[in-house]
Amino acid sequence: MQTPLSMRWRDAFLAAVLIGATTVSSLALAQDPPHEGEAIYRQHCAHCHGATGEGTEDNPKPLIGDRPVADLAKVIHDTMPEDDPEAVVDEDAKKVAAYIHEAFYSPLAQARVRPPRVELSRLTVRQYQNTLADVIGAFSSTAVWGEERGLRGRYYNERRMGRNSQIERVDPRVSFQFGEASPDPDKVKPEEFSIRWEGSVLAPDTGEYELIVKTENSARLWLNDDARPLIDAWVKSGDDTEYRASVFLLGGRIYPLRLEFSKSKQQKTSSIGLEWKPPHRVGEVIPPRYLSPQRAPEVFVVQTAFPPDDRSVGYERGSAVSKEWDQATTYAAVEAAGYVAARVNNLAGVRQDSEDRLPRIKDFCRKFVERAFRRPLSDEQRQSYVERHFEGADEELAIKKVVLLALKSPRFLYREIGAGDAYDAASRLSFTLWDSIPDQKLLEAAAAGQLSTPEQLRAHAERMILDLRTRSKTREFLHQWLKVEHMDNVAKDRELFPEFDEHVVSDLRTSLDLFLDDIIWSETSDFRKLLLTESLFLNGRLAKYYGADLPPDAEFQKVSFDPQQRAGVLSHPFLLTGFAYHSTSSPIHRGVFVSRSLLGRTLRPPPVAVAPLSPDLHAGLTTRERVILQTSPNLCNSCHAMINPLGFPMEQYDAIGRYRNEEYGKPVDTTGSYLTLSGTMVEFDGVRQLADFLAGSEEAHQAFVAQVFHHFVKQPVRAFPGHPETLRQAFAANNFHVQKLLIDVAVTAASPTPSTP
């Protein structure tokens, strides 16, 4: 349900639309030279599909898609028109297919008939969360993520933690079973001692984190709040040895962490473990790669729940303002106002008894609003948003009013679009790469007029690409690209796979993330390696499933395989497991993944829901044979003629992604094929040949570029002149360097001339 904007919001909304809007010229087919297939279409097809493929009352689905002309011609020859399939065949079918494809069916034709436009957008949920964190975080010190990993531990020879520690060292992880012994017999007595670990923790993903402290002694944990422990088990009142608490964290950010531990003389043994359960994972000791001995400043993470963003077009966008979203922004603004008012002395850098307190508080409020609006304030705006609220008002109330007014303003809630000034360019650059506001360097460049050329924008993008926020947003994209977000509840037949449990699934997800990070953030950052690399990251638990010789307690490490057995994401066990059934593989799920994600093809939902044929009913058939049997009817085959041959090459892998040569005693048939958009039939045998095809396919390159653009910019790529083909060509010229593609996308988004028809 949509709710009317307030008068002030409505005026801002309409003004932005009117400024960005231009007249759209409609395509008049009659003005074009006559097409040979047009007359045939009007005679035999228009009564069902509409004059320009828009659909009719009886058949409302528009005639749009991405099938190549040859494929369209075959469908028309075999099945159209439905009331007389023999009326349009052979050459006539080819002529009609060519006309439809060029006039209104293909993506290029659709863009010509209905040109996409850059839309006025509010902040998405993730952008709102990150932006608010950075608006407030701009008044704290900058977090540093150095090379050293672990937490700084200070060991004391008594329960009281004073200034004089006996040991100071960096512990890679906190997982100790001291028993009746001492951490160091030469320096710490075993009867009574204490330890304080300090540093910071990096949240790789956005979501709910469960922190777990395991000890039979005393402990307390602070995370992102030095004033209040997240877990407090300092005073023992029972036999509990495990303590849990949950907290919502934003991915790509560093949070301060402190853990204190104490053993008394009355306690015979001692142990301490610090674990977490990240989103979509099981509990584990926090790995060293997510810990740093350097302290980080506190991060404001808004806890207000927001309704999910619209993803109907394949990527998140802030195109609708619902009553629920409006309410959420109000509650979040109130939450932020209370947070700022309670910490204003630290944020403004002022003492309670300072003589110049009031002007410094006002200056803080001005800077806060400027950060929220992503640009300096005019004198009129400063009076409206800051000064007038301090006239005869209580200081705390005035601060809250400033924060509330700023965070409910369209200048905060809506993103800049279209041609604008340097501050608009700075915001488009930062929201593309960080989902957040410009930093101080970008604002200084905007003030100096140094964001007006592609070269100037590129220099900043090259700096920003190394930020942890960019890494987090890139990981989110890769998860969406690979459909990982749909794999939360992977379960397999316990009789067939007795030890394949939630711990193995969690390890597989970690394995995939390590694989993606290893390629994307390498020096070459080569997209093709995502498809061609023959290595996996395995630990001891995974090694026994996937044919690697590692000790049972081995940590994750890169393991190389026969290139014919493993080929990048196509053969990664986590994806193969997710794109499979409870007990068998699924060429359909795997073929849909290749079609949609890797080739960017459009697939309509099946007209009817069909359950897979049970292996028990066809005991003598392989999975491939069952799929062919089930999808042979014409109703299914129109889509499965493409889906199945793309999934069959991955039949080398069972339901948990293990390599195999046989199924039910029969050799696995891994032959497949694909009709390209240019009309060429490509054949392959096995996952390696499929991977080779995709790595060299312009269709796959174009699909990846478009999906990157949509995720990062959250606008249609075809609304930007010359794209996506210009970006694809640059991607190829840069040897498919993913980091450079992200930079090119950011520069394109920040440039001042997107199309606004």
Give the C-alpha separation, 223 to 113, whole Å: 54
**Closest CA relative to residue 288, chosen from 187, 415, 175:** 175
- Measure Cα distances from 436 to 14, 133, 224 in Å: 24, 9, 20
What does 247-289 look like in DSSP terms, one character per residue?
A: EEE-TTEEEEEEEEEEE-TT-S-EEEEEEEE-TTS--EEPPGG
Angstrom distances, CA of residue 744 to CA of 30, 712, 731 = 39, 11, 9
Contacts of 124 (CB under 8 A, 6+ apart): 309, 316, 317, 318, 435, 714
**pLDDT at residue 83, as a whole number:** 82
Contacts (Cβ under 8 Å, ≥6 apart) of 32: none
Residues whose CB is less than 8 angstroms from the CB of residue 122 and which lie 6 or more positions away in sequence, other chains included: 318, 319, 321, 325, 413, 414, 415
CA 716 vs. chain centroid, Å, equals 17
Helix (H) or strand (E) holding 199: strand 193-203
pTM (two decimals) = 0.90
pLDDT for 30: 36
Judged by DSSP in three states, 673 sits in strand
Q: Which two tokens stand for residue 94?
A: 């080819």
Give the span between the Cα atoms of 139 and 131, in whole angstroms. 13
Residue 436: strand pairing partners: none
Chain centroid offset of residue 447 CA: 32
pLDDT at 375: 95
Q: Which two tokens stand for residue 531?
A: 């498809």
pLDDT for res 5: 36
Q: How far apart are CA 603 and CA 595, in angstroms?
A: 8
| CB hemisphere CA count around 686 (13 angstroms) | 12
* Bridge partner residues of 193 (DSSP): 263
Look up residue 597 and give its DSSP letter.
I
- State whether the Cα torsion 656-661-663-669 is positive or negative: positive
First to last CA, the chain: 27
Judge if the upstream peptide bond of residue 81 is cis by omega within 30 degrees of 0.
Answer: yes
Q: For residue 721, give the 3-state DSSP assignment.
A: coil
pLDDT of residue 743: 98
* Strand, helix or coil for residue 161: coil
What are the backbone dihedrals phi and psi of residue 743, each rounded to the nearest 5 degrees, phi first? -65, -45
**pLDDT of the residue at 610:** 64
Structure confidence at residue 32 (pLDDT): 45
Q: What whole-number distance in Å separates Cα of residue 184 and Cα of residue 165?
A: 13
Residue 376 carries which DSSP code?
A: P
Please choose, from the candidates 658, 579, 664, the residue with its C-alpha nearest in 3D space to the C-alpha of residue 624. 664
Structure tokens at 601: 């093809």
DSSP H helices, 51-203, are 69-79, 90-100, 107-113, 125-137
Placement of tokens 């003589």 in the chain: 355
Task: Indicate the SS3 state at residue 426.
Answer: helix
Compute the distance between CA of residue 703 and CA of residue 485 in angstroms, rounded to an integer.
Answer: 19
Beta bridge partners of 683: 673
pLDDT in tens, 212-270: 999 999 999 999 999 999 999 999 878 899 999 999 999 999 999 999 999 999 999 99
Q: Enumerate domains of the chain plus CATH numbers.
A: 29-113 (1.10.760.10), 125-140+308-413 (no CATH), 151-292 (2.60.120.1560), 479-696 (no CATH)
Phi-psi region of 568 (alpha: psi -120 to 50; beta: other; left: phi over 0): left
For 221-246, letters b (16+ CB in 10 Å) and e give bbbbeeeebbbebeeeeeeeeebeee
Q: What is the DSSP string of 286-314?
A: PPGGGEESS------------PPPB-TTS
Tokens representing residue 494 in the block: 């316990």
Q: Are 345 and 352 in contact (CB under 8 A)?
A: yes
Q: Give me the sign of the Cα torsion angle 602, 608, 611, 612.
A: negative
CB-CB contact of 50 with 63 (8 Å): yes
Q: What angle do CA 668, 674, 678 make, to 5 degrees?
A: 165
- Distances, alpha carbon 372 to alpha carbons 304, 418, 421, 595, 654, in Å: 18, 20, 17, 41, 52
Our measurement of the distance from residue 328's CA atom to the centroid of its chain's CA atoms, rounded to an integer in Å, reads 22
CB-based contacts of 406, cutoff 8 Å, min separation 6: 368, 369, 372, 373, 385, 412
Contact 72, 105 (CB under 8 A): yes
CA 420 to chain centre: 28
DSSP code at position 101: I
Residue 687's nearest CA partner among 532, 578, 573 is 532
DSSP string over 312-323: TTSS-B----BH
Q: Can you list the residues of the chain whose pLDDT is less than 50?
A: 1-32, 418, 754-757
**For residues 572 and 41, what is the distance between their CA atoms, to the nearest angstrom?**
46
Output the pLDDT for position 720: 87
